[in-house]
Amino acid sequence: MTHYKVLLIDLDGTLLDVEMSFFLGPLVSRMHGFFSDLIGYHLFRKGLFAGTEALMSEPRPEGETNEEGFYRVFSHVTGLGPSESRGRLEDFYTRAYPSLGDFARPVKGGPEFVRAAAERGLVMVLATNPIFPLRANHERLRWAGISPALFGFIPGLENMSSCKPGIRYFLDLAARAGVDPGDCLMIGNDPEQDLPAADVGMGTFLVDGEMADGAALTREPDGRGSLGDLAEMLGIKISPGPKPASSWRIGGQSHPTGPDQGLGS
């Protein structure tokens, strides 16, 4: 497994421990709070889920970004204009989304693996499903204890026109990295979403210690195990994690310092 030029690394369940059954309720509820003067909760939820599901269906209109596809369907279901909906959702992601980090934590060994791979000079692409805006994906990386700056490309609603597990998604990420699919190793915990990367010639590694609940293993990955096992296979030496954050003070208020200090959204 030492010949890969680019690591495609999934986020939820691979680097970020987030229990979706607990996360989705507060996410939708707090998001609806930014629309409650316009639309009821149930219709909002219906539009949100319909817009998201549409992104994963194929075929999609030629050249349509995930963002355009989401607002096309969301607006059709809810009757709200795309421009106003976009502004309110951007406000939500700026003001309220960061507080949802209370429902997530780093996967053990995740920050250390990513830092060690970066120190080794490996190119990394975040291989999360681009159903959230870039701002949200940067925030979720910070919840995982990882600086977004360590990734050469981060997908989001705005810059992608495909989703997992479609083959276009994996081809798009390889193209973004400027390499052939065979130069990429897809690393993830969901056999149904991540292992189809093999269909375009990518290598696959299943993080089975964090394997997605209910996921069926219908094909064998090229490798499987923990992120620590993968580091050994790739010849990456993982150093101990950083010391606990110290703090500095401004105006009498204590602020933690750490690897992501000063990163903007």
- In single-letter form, the type of residue at position 126 comes to L
My answer on whether 121 and 218 are in the same domain is yes
My answer on whether 177 and 124 are in the same domain is yes
Domain boundary among 55, 83, 100: 100
Tens digits of residue pLDDT in 64-112: 999 999 999 999 999 999 999 999 999 999 999 999 999 999 999 999 9
CA–CA separation, 102 and 105 (whole Å) = 8
- What confidence score (pLDDT) does residue 1 get? 65
Q: For residue 260, is it within any domain?
A: no
| 260 has a pLDDT exceeding 80 | no
Q: For residue 173, is it within any domain?
A: yes
pTM of the model: 0.87
CA–CA separation, 131 and 148 (whole Å) = 17
My answer on whether 27 and 94 are in the same domain is yes
Q: For residue 264, is it within any domain?
A: no
> Number of structural domains, the chain?
2
101: helix, strand or coil: helix
Enclosing domain of residue 149:
6-18+104-234
My answer on whether 113 and 10 are in the same domain is yes
Domain boundary among 100, 125, 151: 100
CA–CA separation, 166 and 144 (whole Å) = 26
Please, which pLDDT band fits residue 60 given cuts at 50, 70 and 90? confident
